[in-house]
Structure 1
Amino acid sequence: MPGSHALIRLGQRASQVLRKVWFASPSPHPDERLSVSLKLIACTVLVLFTAGCGPAVISDSAQFSQAPATIAPTPSPTTPSSEPVVMVSTQIVSTASASVPVSEPVAVIEAMPIPTPAGPPFSYHVIEEGENLSYISWLYDTPLEELVALNQLAGPDAIIQTGQSLRIPLRLEDTSPRHMLLPDSEVVYSPAYVGFNLQEFIESKGGYLVGYTEYVDGQILTGAEIVERVAQQFSVGPRLLLALLEHYGGWVTNPYPTAEAINRMLGPQNPRGSSLYLALGWTANRINAGYYGYKRDGFWVFSLADRQRVVTPEGLNAGTVGVQNILALHSNQETWTKELEPDGLLADYRALFGDPLAHSIEPLVPKSLVQPPLSLPWAKGKGFYITSGPHPAYADGSAWAAIDFGPPDVLGNCYYSAEPNTAAADGVIVVARHGAVELDLDGDGNIQTGWVLQYLHVVLDADRPVQVGQRVKAGDIIGYASCEGGLANSSHLHFSRRYNGEWMDAGSPVPMNLSGWVVQPTLAAYEGSLKNGSAVREACECWETEKNLIVNQ
């Protein structure tokens, strides 16, 4: 809707006063924060009669869990509601003079909750040849019964396979700081970024990034284009990426950084330091790992540069966990703590962009969210094979938002398919390049807002390729399955969803539903099935009609 973003902004500004107080106290105790909030409200009411109400101050301040903590029963296939989900601010507090009448309270929209961990935090062990459960139990000094229960195995004699991953419980006492760093809407490429002119901002700062160019995917990209490309691909907020680039390398404001800052522009542990595109991608992926790992399991284990491990406390927002994770990878315990303080990364962020809460949109993903109706993304009467269940949408750090479909005419090789992949719903094309197409379903042409569908490993139609800004109808041709656009050993369609910039897990809490076929996840990436009534098709790197072929009826 044309006025929706203005209303959202109004709600953001009006809610800032309480939010600033809420995050001002270093104490995590909710009673203390409530007391501060009540004092502010009382102070506002008495502003005409007393003095001394001062402004509140905001408190400034690897990879282990991968699978869902618990698998909830997937609901039976139903026709999702077609009504749009409207995002509004969860709190509106008047900031006008006390003489202005207070408006009616606005109903609070609950955010999608962080799951409660089903047990202690865990890491993973990849089974090697010759290993069995008894050996792994001895190796990690973990009771055999605990391993069986944590991994939902049939029993202590269960058969395990070489290459299989097993959860290993961790016993950690150290926790990360409890204060908020950035809201979720700053960390993901969310509606908070609509209208943010990246090129203009970078040029206004006059740093090294202005003149930077790099050869990426067959073309020369500027520094601004590289940041935008990574933000789109990983769905990570460009303001956060720029703040990190300034924090570690000074690239945003310094026109003449040192040689070390040029070669290690995104931190000392970044293995892709010589390339801005690759270094930004690695950084975005590690931010996503913390963000979505925490959202999936209800906890995250940080692996610091000195090999120490620290677990999240309760009550953090996912965006803060994502930022903590990327900083942890470059720090030991002492330097990490300093990085999370007011004069750490947040000082550079504020110097560039001001108050991070000024861009907050809540809830980013409402608890009441439902998926709009989506059809199978190929032509009526045709069948594709489900070759992979839920797995990461983009690189290994993102949510398990994607499932894969193999075309019927290309089996086990990378020839381009002649069977088209089609639009699963009406929408507007917002990305169209070799190997990737993204379809915006709310029709506003912004990749950051509402539902967006991602088609990866697709090549565009040679005669009538879709173009950015083009409106398409459900069933229109998007492209053809191939191996282009990423690592692949067989032509397939990699299909995933985002909502307000956040990758939406294919299994839960809003299961992917395609023409009544609902995703059924498991504890392992790439496994799972699709179910439609009593019909079930299992994900398999095979082409078996009765096992994994799905025909679009």
Structure 2
Amino acid sequence: MSRAWRSSLHLRFGPALALVLWLAGCVRPGPNPPTFTTPNAATPGVVTDGGATSQPAADPSLPLQTQLGTPAPAYNGQPTPDPAHYETGAGGAATLGSHTVAVGETLGILAQRYGTTVEELMRLNGLTNPDLVQLGQALQVPGGEIQQVVSPDFKIIPDSELVYGPAARDFEARSFVSGLNGYLLRVSEEVEGQALDGPAILQLVADRHSVNPRLLLAVVEHRTGWVTQATPAATTADLGAGAIVTPGLYGQLSFAANLLNLGFYGRAEGGLRGFNLGDDTQVLFSAVINDGTAGVQRYLGAISGTTRDAWLEATGATGLYATYQRLFGNPFGYAVEPLLPAGVAAPPLVLPWAAGETWYFTGGPHGAWNTGSAWGALDFVPPGDQVGCIPSDAWVTAMTGGVISRSGHGAVVVDLDGDGYAGTGWAILYMHLETRDRATAGTQVQSGGRLGHPSCEGGFSNGTHLHIARSYNGRWISADGELPFVMSDWVSSGAGAEYDGYLTRGDQTREACVCREPINALTP
């Protein structure tokens, strides 16, 4: 499924994960919240209950973040419903079955196969774009009995608590976890050749997916108790991915973060109106929930082992929301709205290589990181004749000035507003940069400044290339939406399918191609 020179970030777990993102998963309820004891004055800061749980020495009725010395923001209100995003007409049973999309299948082909119309398939599946179907997606088709239901109206988190944005600026996951002395501190595994402990793994997943680390910690606690329990009942990572990924915390957390993004961006801009829950239920997102809540509902609906009743409990006031509140207080106290202010404009950029060099446009709009994120990325390969993961002496250069906020694991992130935090204002991700000569965090760069060499480092790639993506306030920005890339006056656009797309400047057009040909050649 991956092609030469194309990033396989969207296939991080291979075809099996792509399939599960669209098929209903099954979730088991998370563990019961641990019981805390009164702090022991002889051990200020942390006490232990039979060696199984620990807590800071403070009022146990307060959120743990407050007990650790950082007061959770006050919030005494009740989130109001969103104005209806669309009309929902679900309810009752329909004579439907499920079809998993195979290679080359379109809605037109499926309409002929099942004796229906493209419009009817779009209605049954809550689709707004007839081209928005993907390999492995489960579609409802005429043929069996499916119950259609509308998701609960209960809001779980604001949008700004799903993305790694302004609200998480001063939050340090490692410090929080260390204060609780939970099992997560003692987790260790190798990720892409580097030994990482639990907090480092969580931080890497948060950085890569641009998902709020507070939300990821709540997910870990809800499913495993590892954040607060020193000796939890189970020490095998299980965030719901089942056996479809390589066992381990990194794979499980990546699964969770990707599903959170899938619900958020899919609902916000991808025409996603719901998902399959088990073999007999199709959930349509409530029209009055926000996109962040849709992201959490989507993740909880994909966890291996779920039932409809378990999912309803997990998405209600006593589910993941309650776990989050116990750790950090009311999530709506952290709300930063809107994430995308009216009138925000895309920054003008230059192509990310030296003047006079010819690079090639090999990947149109596709996932900024993994399948669930917005189609925020573009791919380019340097000049040369070889293919595959080969060393390159070509330089990736900054498309505009800023300060490097993160460098490592194949990535360089340039923060454009210069405050050193990528979650406020505009930031640009340059991915697959080789360790050799890679610019370091804290470096101030100017437009055209050298950042590093293209490679296959970071995530998984089957060929040396550069993957670029942008975010604003931690929210991935689509390359085929209202704020396209504008690089040396080349403007990005999509062709309706992931990785297909164009760059246009005046009357010139370059089309994404897995090739080095005049049709995709670009010279600044």
**TM-score interval (norm. to shorter):** 0.7 to 0.9
Provide the residue aligned with 2:283 in structure 1: 310
Matched, 1:324 2:276: no
Matched, 1:475 2:448: yes
Provide the residue aligned with 1:532 in structure 2: 505
Provide the residue aligned with 1:388 in structure 2: 363
Provide the residue aligned with 1:457 in structure 2: 432
Q: Of the two, which has the highest radius of gyration?
A: 1
- Structure 2 letter corresponding to 1:321: A
Q: Secondary structure at the match of 1:459?
A: coil
Give the 5 Å matches for 1:143-154.
Answer: 143=117
Taking the aligned partners of 2:89 and 2:500, their CA distance within structure 1 comes to 23
| Change over 3 Å in CA distance of 1:544–1:239 after alignment to 2 | same
Q: Deviations over 1:218-261 (max 9, x none)?
A: 22212111111110011111111111111111001111111xx3
Q: Work out whether residues 385 and 543 of structure 1, in 8 Å CA contact, stay in contact via their aligned partners in 2.
A: yes
Q: Secondary structure at the match of 1:210?
A: helix
| Change over 3 Å in CA distance of 1:220–1:297 after alignment to 2 | closer
Matched, 1:486 2:459: yes
Provide the residue aligned with 2:211 in structure 1: 236
Taking the aligned partners of 2:359 and 2:389, their CA distance within structure 1 comes to 16
The counterpart of 1:287, out of the listed 238, 260, 264, is 260
Q: Work out whether residues 117 and 298 of structure 1, in 8 Å CA contact, stay in contact via their aligned partners in 2.
A: no
Provide the residue aligned with 1:445 in structure 2: 420
Q: Work out whether residues 506 and 512 of structure 1, in 8 Å CA contact, stay in contact via their aligned partners in 2.
A: yes
Q: Work out whether residues 409 and 419 of structure 1, in 8 Å CA contact, stay in contact via their aligned partners in 2.
A: no
Deviation at 1:315, TM superposition (A): 2.7
Q: Deviations over 1:331-375 (max 9, x none)?
A: 221111111221111111111111111111111112321111211
Taking the aligned partners of 1:241 and 1:369, their CA distance within structure 2 comes to 28
Q: Deviations over 1:271-327 (max 9, x none)?
A: 448411111111111111111111123443223245522111213211101111111
| Change over 3 Å in CA distance of 1:324–1:434 after alignment to 2 | closer
> Comparing 192-201 with 296-305, which one deviates more in the overlay?
296-305
- Structure 2 letter corresponding to 1:137: A
Q: Work out whether residues 429 and 468 of structure 2, in 8 Å CA contact, stay in contact via their aligned partners in 1.
A: yes
Taking the aligned partners of 2:245 and 2:467, their CA distance within structure 1 comes to 25
The counterpart of 1:416, out of the listed 387, 391, 409, is 391
Taking the aligned partners of 1:256 and 1:281, their CA distance within structure 2 comes to 24
Provide the residue aligned with 1:33 in structure 2: none
> Comparing 166-175 with 445-454, which one deviates more in the overlay?
166-175
Q: Secondary structure at the match of 2:428?
A: strand
Provide the residue aligned with 1:510 in structure 2: 483
The counterpart of 2:157, out of the listed 182, 192, 196, is 182
The counterpart of 1:340, out of the listed 288, 299, 315, is 315
Q: Deviations over 1:138-158 (max 9, x none)?
A: 4334226767998769xxxxx
Provide the residue aligned with 1:81 in structure 2: none
| Change over 3 Å in CA distance of 1:166–1:420 after alignment to 2 | farther
Taking the aligned partners of 1:222 and 1:378, their CA distance within structure 2 comes to 36
Matched, 1:192 2:167: yes
Unaligned runs of 5+ in 1: 1-11, 31-113, 154-161
Taking the aligned partners of 1:274 and 1:375, their CA distance within structure 2 comes to 41
> Comparing 353-362 with 295-304, which one deviates more in the overlay?
295-304
Q: Work out whether residues 148 and 281 of structure 2, in 8 Å CA contact, stay in contact via their aligned partners in 1.
A: no
Provide the residue aligned with 2:523 in structure 1: 551
Structure number with greater CO (CA < 8 Å, separation at least 6) is 2
Unaligned runs of 5+ in 2: 1-71, 91-95
Q: Secondary structure at the match of 2:359?
A: strand
Provide the residue aligned with 1:8 in structure 2: none
Provide the residue aligned with 2:346 in structure 1: 371
Taking the aligned partners of 1:551 and 1:115, their CA distance within structure 2 comes to 43
Question: Percent identical across equivalent pairs?
Answer: 39
Taking the aligned partners of 1:524 and 1:132, their CA distance within structure 2 comes to 11
Q: Secondary structure at the match of 1:458?
A: coil
Taking the aligned partners of 2:82 and 2:192, their CA distance within structure 1 comes to 50
Deviation at 1:190, TM superposition (A): 0.8
Deviation at 1:132, TM superposition (A): 8.8
Deviation at 1:385, TM superposition (A): 0.9
| Change over 3 Å in CA distance of 1:132–1:181 after alignment to 2 | closer
Q: Work out whether residues 218 and 323 of structure 2, in 8 Å CA contact, stay in contact via their aligned partners in 1.
A: yes
Taking the aligned partners of 1:508 and 1:135, their CA distance within structure 2 comes to 27
Matched, 1:203 2:178: yes
The counterpart of 1:254, out of the listed 229, 249, 268, is 229
- Structure 1 letter corresponding to 2:208: Q
